[in-house]
């Protein structure tokens, strides 16, 4: 089992004992000055314990004009980078430092007017043009990549990876959307590739003949009128001749729709492998495949079939750093599989200023220094009230620390809102995670009591030492005339199949619950109208799942009414109000309420009045996402 994935491979002077790679992932855990922090080291140590043969670090900036994370543009960065490399080596893995320049994607430099790019064309993301690089700039940045490679060697790294993917400077030279030059660095795709080729050649010249050089490239730009994998194949001989030893075949840029560089759950495992295969067929050097891998057996087949030589596991190693060790031991059922939700690893860094990396289903990620390293000195009797993501995570973490845990859930099932979310298209993986959590809780000896509503008397008679209140939220009901009509149901009844899908359905609320319920209904054959009081949906199109959700509903001809409320429901007639004008929809056989939730207040006063030590977590504190629920549940357990 896994004979191909776990077989060795040699790249110049670097011997790897398996074909598994951790690709570079931004963490924002570094110090403000771009040096390596204790958080970086703790995070990297946990990843290195996975048994993966090669770890490629997050980006290290080769020049101040494009440094947006850790730096490698000065010798002062070497000691910290050496510590990171040593941490990786101590766990038995090899380390490659990724060399990077953000170009026009460097927001701090854009604000100061210091960002550079192939042409003065603003990015799709920031809309601020960089300064067009002169020939002297080009030569300087090429030298900077070479200088950085020498520093990587001084730090003890086993290899370097040049970042030519995802819309950063080297990709910008490749892209007609960013490169409008008329000199030798612009024009045809081959001419636009000249800068990348010269960077590789400079790094090879500086590091010598035996030192491995990886090149991460977006095999396809994945944007309208962007370059294709066939274009990339045409420059591969030049990249190999310049000194490339391994091609890391990613896809997309920051301008690509739907966050394709970190594909959402709509994409199957290995969805991008065919591009890696095209590249592998064109060159005689190893190729790394990427693309939502969570199953070691699928990855093994990729190597066995010759589609790629190595496989990158990125987000999966955030969700479960023990992934490969479990696979080696034949414990694939114990693996906590990545949901591809992107809440902690992408959206958090993208949307929350100053935020660092997290994982929505593994609260340890990015918080390695906070996780207790040994069992609790004094085990406590802990009641967890509520069996959703927050409560289940709290129960697992508390039991792991040696506490005596009882989990109460008033319904007959665990999972909270995920019990319903798992019913919608492409979210089965969420249900699989809940099932995994349930199994882990059982294995840790947690007493689970479903169908039980905790009362004041139970709290007093049971005498818990600590209570973690994770009772979730309650549905909000809008004040609409006719809300009690037989045709009216709520999203949870529909998703739970308590109420059959109608033929002509109005869904009230275009937040995530409403949008996903509409998606579910469309899948059942309903014609859906979505009504939202806000001027637009709160579900952001810039997120991977959000983009796909909007796209599917648009293609299904779902009609949206924004800045609109419902005045009344009368039989099969629904009256809408928009800017003081009314519109009547007729022939409606179902109205679905999906206007959201608010925190439940049950037991909060009792816990306070009886002076029972307690924590309020998840939706019981404030209605939000899975990532907030699991982090709060875990922290409550850690702080007992």
Q: How far apart are the first and last CA of the chain?
A: 42
Q: Are residues 217 and 170 in the same domain?
A: yes
pLDDT of residue 543: 87
Q: Is residue 514 part of a domain?
A: yes
Region 520-533: what's the mean pLDDT?
97
Residue 138: other Cβ atoms inside 10 A: 21
The span from the CA of 393 to the CA of 416, in Å, is: 12
Confidence category of residue 54, pLDDT binned at 50, 70, 90: very high
pTM of structure: 0.95
Query: Under a CB-based contact definition with an 8 Å cutoff, are residues 97 and 72 in contact?
Result: yes
The answer on pLDDT for 233 being more than 90 is yes
pLDDT of residue 164: 98
Q: Are residues 246 and 332 in the same domain?
A: yes
Q: Are residues 241 and 161 in the same domain?
A: yes
Backbone angles phi, psi at 493, to 5 degrees: -65, -35
The span from the CA of 329 to the CA of 326, in Å, is: 5
Residue 552: other Cβ atoms inside 10 A: 18
CA distances from 142 to 41, 101, 134, 235, 275 (A): 29, 11, 12, 19, 28
The span from the CA of 574 to the CA of 25, in Å, is: 49
Indicate the helix (H) or strand (E) that contains 523.
helix 512-523
The span from the CA of 314 to the CA of 293, in Å, is: 8
pLDDT of residue 612: 96
Q: Is residue 1 part of a domain?
A: no
Q: Are residues 199 and 336 in the same domain?
A: yes
Confidence category of residue 258, pLDDT binned at 50, 70, 90: confident
Q: Are residues 319 and 465 in the same domain?
A: no
Confidence category of residue 254, pLDDT binned at 50, 70, 90: confident
Report which of 305, 171, 165, 168 is spatially closest to residue 249, judged by C-alpha positions.
165
Residue 122: other Cβ atoms inside 10 A: 14
Confidence category of residue 596, pLDDT binned at 50, 70, 90: confident
Confidence category of residue 251, pLDDT binned at 50, 70, 90: very high
Backbone angles phi, psi at 507, to 5 degrees: -105, 125
Active site (catalytic) residues: 168
Q: Are residues 468 and 492 in the same domain?
A: no
Partners of 98 in the beta sheet? Answer: 59, 161
CATH number of the structural domain spanning residue 431: 3.40.50.720
Region 187-210: what's the mean pLDDT?
98
Q: Are residues 192 and 292 in the same domain?
A: yes
Report which of 255, 298, 302, 257 is spatially closest to residue 276, judged by C-alpha positions.
302
Q: Is residue 634 part of a domain?
A: yes
Q: Are residues 493 and 626 in the same domain?
A: no
CATH number of the structural domain spanning residue 14: 3.20.20.70
Q: Whole domain around residue 59: which residue ranges?
A: 9-351
The span from the CA of 41 to the CA of 479, in Å, is: 53
Instruction: Kindly calculate the radius of gyration of the chain based on its CA atoms and give it in whole angstroms.
Output: 27
Backbone angles phi, psi at 160, to 5 degrees: -125, 155
Q: Are residues 570 and 502 in the same domain?
A: yes
Give the β-pairing of 70-71 and 597-599: unpaired
Region 443-466: what's the mean pLDDT?
95
The answer on pLDDT for 564 being more than 90 is yes
Residue 581: other Cβ atoms inside 10 A: 8
Report which of 98, 119, 43 is spatially closest to residue 317, judged by C-alpha positions.
43
pLDDT of residue 351: 85
User: Strand order of the sheet with strand 565-570?
Assistant: 565-570, 573-578, 581-585
Residue whose pair of structure tokens reads 């003081």 in the numeric block: 580
Q: Is residue 362 part of a domain?
A: no
pLDDT in tens, 346-398: 999 988 888 999 999 999 999 999 999 999 999 999 999 999 999 999 999 99
Q: Is residue 480 part of a domain?
A: no
The answer on pLDDT for 257 being more than 90 is no
CA angle, residues 306, 308, 314, in degrees to nearest 5: 145
Q: Is residue 451 part of a domain?
A: yes
CATH number of the structural domain spanning residue 570: 3.50.50.60
Q: Which two tokens stand for residue 77?
A: 């960065």
Residue 461's Cβ-side half-sphere holds a number of Cα atoms within 13 Å equal to 5
CA distances from 84 to 80, 95, 151, 248, 569 (A): 6, 9, 13, 22, 63
Q: Are residues 591 and 607 in the same domain?
A: no
What integer best gives the mean pLDDT of the chain?
96
pLDDT in tens, 122-172: 998 899 999 999 999 999 999 999 999 999 999 999 999 999 999 999 999
**End residue of a domain, out of 305, 333, 351:** 351
Q: Is residue 367 part of a domain?
A: no
Q: Which two tokens stand for residue 81?
A: 């980078």
pLDDT in tens, 302-341: 999 999 999 999 999 999 999 999 999 999 999 999 999 9
Q: Is residue 373 part of a domain?
A: no
The span from the CA of 329 to the CA of 50, in Å, is: 13
CA distances from 514 to 143, 267, 428, 564 (A): 53, 22, 18, 15
Region 496-520: what's the mean pLDDT?
97
Number of domain units in the chain: 3
Q: Are residues 259 and 296 in the same domain?
A: yes
pLDDT of residue 402: 98
Q: Are residues 579 and 602 in the same domain?
A: no
Residues in the chain: 640
């Amino acid at each position: 089992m896994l004979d191909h994935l776990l077989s060795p491979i040699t790249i110049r002077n670097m011997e790897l004992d398996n074909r598994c790679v951790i690709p570079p992932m931004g963490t924002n855990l570094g110090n403000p000055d771009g040096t390596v922090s204790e958080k970086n080291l703790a995070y990297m140590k946990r990843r290195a314990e996975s048994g993966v043969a090669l770890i490629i670090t997050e980006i290290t900036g080769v020049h101040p004009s494009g440094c947006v994370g850790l730096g490698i543009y000065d010798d002062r960065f070497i000691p910290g980078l050496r510590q990171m490399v040593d941490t990786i080596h101590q766990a038995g893995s090899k380390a490659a430092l990724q060399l990077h320049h953000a170009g026009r994607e460097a927001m701090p430099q854009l604000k100061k007017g210091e960002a550079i790019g192939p042409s003065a064309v603003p990015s799709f993301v920031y809309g601020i043009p960089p300064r067009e690089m002169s020939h002297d700039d080009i030569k300087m940045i090429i030298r900077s990549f070479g200088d950085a490679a020498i520093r990587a060697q001084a730090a003890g790294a086993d290899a370097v990876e040049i970042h030519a993917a995802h819309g950063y400077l080297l990709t910008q030279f490749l892209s007609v959307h960013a490169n409008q030059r008329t000199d030798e660095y612009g024009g045809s795709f081959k001419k636009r590739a000249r800068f990348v080729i010269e960077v590789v050649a400079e790094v090879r010249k500086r590091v010598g003949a035996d030192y491995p050089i990886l090149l991460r490239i977006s095999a396809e730009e994945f944007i309208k009128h962007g370059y294709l994998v066939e274009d990339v194949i045409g420059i591969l001989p030049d990249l190999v001749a310049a000194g490339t030893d391994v091609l890391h075949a990613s896809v997309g840029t920051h301008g690509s729709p739907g966050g394709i560089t970190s594909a959402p759950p709509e994409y199957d495992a290995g969805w991008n492998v065919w591009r890696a295969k095209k590249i592998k067929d064109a060159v005689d050097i190893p190729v790394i495949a990427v693309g939502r891998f969570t199953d070691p057996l699928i990855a093994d087949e990729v190597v066995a079939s010759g589609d790629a030589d190595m496989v990158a596991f990125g987000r999966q190693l955030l969700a479960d750093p023990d992934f490969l060790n479990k696979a080696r031991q034949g414990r694939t059922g114990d693996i906590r599989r990545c949901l591809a939700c992107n809440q902690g690893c992408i959206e958090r860094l993208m949307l929350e200023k100053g935020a660092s990396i997290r994982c929505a289903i593994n609260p340890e990620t990015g918080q390695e220094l906070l996780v207790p390293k040994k069992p609790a000195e004094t085990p406590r009797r802990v009641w967890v009230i509520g069996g959703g993501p927050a409560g289940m995570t709290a129960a697992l973490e508390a039991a792991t620390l040696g506490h005596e845990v009882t989990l109460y859930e008033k319904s007959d099932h665990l999972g909270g809102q995920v019990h319903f979310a798992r019913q919608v298209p492409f979210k089965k993986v969420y249900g699989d995670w809940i099932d995994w959590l349930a199994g882990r809780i059982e294995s840790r000896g947690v007493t689970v009591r479903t169908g039980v509503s905790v009362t004041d008397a139970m709290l007093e008679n049971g005498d818990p030492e600590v209570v973690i209140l994770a009772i979730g939220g309650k549905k909000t009901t809008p004040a609409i005339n006719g809300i009690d009509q037989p045709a009216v149901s709520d999203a949870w009844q529909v998703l739970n199949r308590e109420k059959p899908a109608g033929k002509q359905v109005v869904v009230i609320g275009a937040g995530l619950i409403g949008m996903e319920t509409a998606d579910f209904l469309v899948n059942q054959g309903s014609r859906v109208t979505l009504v939202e009081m806000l001027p637009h949906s709160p579900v952001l199109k810039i997120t991977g799942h959000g983009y796909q959700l909007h796209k599917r509903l648009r293609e299904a001809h779902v009609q949206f009414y924004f800045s609109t409320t419902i005045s009344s429901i009368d039989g099969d007639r629904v009256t809408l109000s928009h800017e003081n004008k009314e519109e009547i929809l007729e022939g409606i056989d179902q109205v679905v309420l999906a206007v959201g939730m608010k925190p439940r207040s049950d037991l909060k006063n009792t816990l306070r009045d009886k002076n029972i030590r307690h924590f309020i977590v998840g939706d019981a504190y404030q209605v939000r996402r899975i990532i907030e629920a699991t982090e709060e549940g875990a922290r409550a357990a850690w702080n007992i």
